[in-house]
Amino acid sequence: MNELALRAEHLGKLYKIGQTGEHHTTLRDQLMASTRALFRRNGRPHMGSGTLWALREVSFEVKRGELVGIIGHNGAGKSTLLKILSRITRPTTGRAEIWGRIGSLLEVGTGFHSELSGRENLYLSGAILGMPKAEIDRKFDQIVAFAEVEKFIDTPVKHYSSGMYMRLAFAVAAHLDPDILLIDEVLSVGDLAFQRKCLEYAKRLQEGKATVLFVSHNMFAVKALCKRVIYMADGQVQFDGPPENAIQLYEGDSRLSMAPWARGMLDADRSKRPIAITDIEVLDEHGQSRCVFDYGERMRIRLQFDASESVTDPNFNISIFRSDNVPCCNYNTAMDGLSIPSLYGKGMIEVLTPPLKLVAELYAIHVMVWDAKFQQLYSAQMGMTFHVRHHLLSPHFGVFHEAAEWHWDPDEGESFLMHEGHTTTAPQQLS
């Protein structure tokens, strides 16, 4: 099958900075700005420094039935691309053609009104997603059964539990049966279990010959699902091809990027920071490079650093974040009793973790250098990821699992039962 599902040609999107809706410009601001602009005209109103090309010259084609992963760092233009393809916003330049009905899992629960019943919301939400009423009528029972809300279908959704609400919302979106499905895992709400449900749905749709575009930060999911991956950076397509190569590029670029939460706390220019982490290696106990660990294995993390000025009493930190950004654990030199009086120049530091008791998931390593009292941050970098494998433990079991000590004495139990039997007969004897 060689039919196209989607073709993008030289797509570009220009944003005026500050056009993000965070603060609403008032008429007064606008009037003042335009008055100022009158006095310093430069003749190019759209090309000034207050603009940003979120997307530039993006061209690609997707055939029917393909499952394409889109990866890239925050701000690489992935979400903007999906917004254009789902027609929420228009491109500034270029054009895209689409063959078929587009659905996206961004939209789960949009248009729900808390005062309306499940039944009413189902119709409303279906209509918003573009389903004709006849189609909703036909799929009604199926959707309700899928959401498992049969008993409450005529109750206002404000009385629903959040789980029921999500199930119903997802059930509507999942029955849209789009020809092209767009998933932005980064933005989609919901816990890991819900995200899994979305992926299963995507897979099922694709087996039914639908086309899927899948934006994700989860390289394992991308590798497992996609045969083709588009890697984006700075609003442009950097690579389009086999997932291994795309992920390699992505990881190469992301290896030592600044942790997003540290923006504003650190100088954006790495060379201006007192200490920089120049390499992070993830190894097994014996020093072999690895990215998948079995539950209970120990892990070696080796850091290369370069201190451009003398740093006294540095505190090296390694934090492990689950892929849904839950901080799981932290190892740091100050608390683990390693004191480093001062550092200057290049060097290496390594930690051997205790046996990993984290549940099976994808984790990211953030490396930070603080002072001993956690007052000043010298460096914060991230990028390496690893996976923990276990046949049973998942985030349903919590963040980590550690064996506990149980105590059960069969003899005590029996004596207790006998004792009870004895006491119940005792009053009879007395009477």
Q: Residue numbers of the site for another protein (CB under 8 A)?
A: 3-4, 7, 15, 19-21, 24-28, 30, 83-102, 106-107, 110-111, 113, 115-116, 120, 123-124, 127-130, 132-133
Could you tell me if 116 and 156 are in contact, meaning their C-beta atoms sit under 8 angstroms apart? yes
Residue (7 or 290) nearer to another protein, CB: 7
- Quote the least distance from Cβ 178 to another protein, whole Å: 12
- Quote the least distance from Cβ 343 to another protein, whole Å: 46
- Quote the least distance from Cβ 84 to another protein, whole Å: 6
- Helix, coil or strand: residue 195: helix
In whole angstroms, give the CA distance from residue 428 to residue 407: 35
Residues pairing with 321 in the sheet: 327, 364
Q: Which of 257, 185, 191, 187 is nearest to 219 (CA)?
A: 185
- 178 alpha carbon, distance to own chain's centre: 23
- Quote the least distance from Cβ 29 to another protein, whole Å: 9
Q: Which helix (H) or strand (E) holds 387?
A: strand 377-389
At residue 311, what are phi and psi to the nearest 5 degrees?
-115, 120
Helices (H) and strands (E) in the chain, counts: 9, 18
Residue (115 or 405) nearer to another protein, CB: 115
- Quote the least distance from Cβ 390 to another protein, whole Å: 36
Residue (22 or 411) nearer to another protein, CB: 22
Calculated CA dihedral for residues 173, 179, 185, 187, nearest 10 degrees: -60
- Quote the least distance from Cβ 26 to another protein, whole Å: 6
Residue (178 or 395) nearer to another protein, CB: 178
Distances (CA, A) of 363 to 35, 110, 328, 360, 383: 52, 30, 9, 9, 10
Q: Which of 248, 206, 204 is nearest to 223 (CA)?
A: 248
Residues pairing with 367 in the sheet: 318, 381
Residue (127 or 399) nearer to another protein, CB: 127
Residue (127 or 351) nearer to another protein, CB: 127
- Quote the least distance from Cβ 113 to another protein, whole Å: 6
- Quote the least distance from Cβ 303 to another protein, whole Å: 41
Could you tell me if 128 and 111 are in contact, meaning their C-beta atoms sit under 8 angstroms apart? yes
Residue (91 or 118) nearer to another protein, CB: 91
Residue (68 or 358) nearer to another protein, CB: 68
Cβ neighbourhood burial of 313 (10 Å; 0-12, 13-18, 19+) = middle
Residue (19 or 415) nearer to another protein, CB: 19
- 142 alpha carbon, distance to own chain's centre: 30
Residue (106 or 199) nearer to another protein, CB: 106
Residues pairing with 52 in the sheet: 15
- Quote the least distance from Cβ 85 to another protein, whole Å: 7
Sign of torsion over alpha carbons 233, 239, 243, 245? negative
- Quote the least distance from Cβ 231 to another protein, whole Å: 23
Provide the 10 A C-beta neighbour count for residue 80: 23
Q: Checking DSSP bridges between strand 362-371 and strand 377-389, what pairing results, if any?
A: antiparallel
